[in-house]
């Protein structure tokens, strides 16, 4: 088994999540960040939703990997990032 799931409450604003897991006596720490973006801030709908997401990710801190992209509504998305280890 190389994965597990942790269910978080639905967020409506940015949040940071820190998870510590003990595996065979060794503690592993993970950091996640959930951020909400308004696509209209990135010229949506004049450009495609995919182009908006590419622009957001291109500008984002390179110390974080993209973990999940979730639509919130027509104009907003939530992106979960994972801190690089």
Q: Average pLDDT of each block of 10 consecutive residues along the chain (85 residues)?
A: 76 88 93 95 93 95 95 92 93
- In this predicted structure, what is the pLDDT of residue 2? 75
Q: How far apart are the first and last CA of the chain?
A: 20
- As to burial, measured by CB atoms within 10 angstroms (0-12 exposed, 13-18 middle, 19+ buried), residue 52 is buried
Helix (H, G, I), strand (E, B) or coil at 64: strand
pLDDT score for 62: 96
């Amino acid at each position: 088994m190389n994965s597990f799931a942790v269910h978080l409450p639905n967020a409506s604003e940015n949040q940071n999540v820190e998870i510590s897991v003990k595996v065979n006596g060794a503690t592993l720490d993970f950091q996640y960040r959930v951020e909400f973006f308004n696509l209209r801030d990135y010229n949506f709908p004049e450009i495609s939703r995919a182009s908006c997401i590419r622009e957001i990710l291109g500008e984002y801190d390179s110390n974080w990997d993209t973990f999940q992209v979730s639509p919130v509504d027509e104009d907003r998305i939530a992106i979960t990032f994972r801190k690089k280890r």
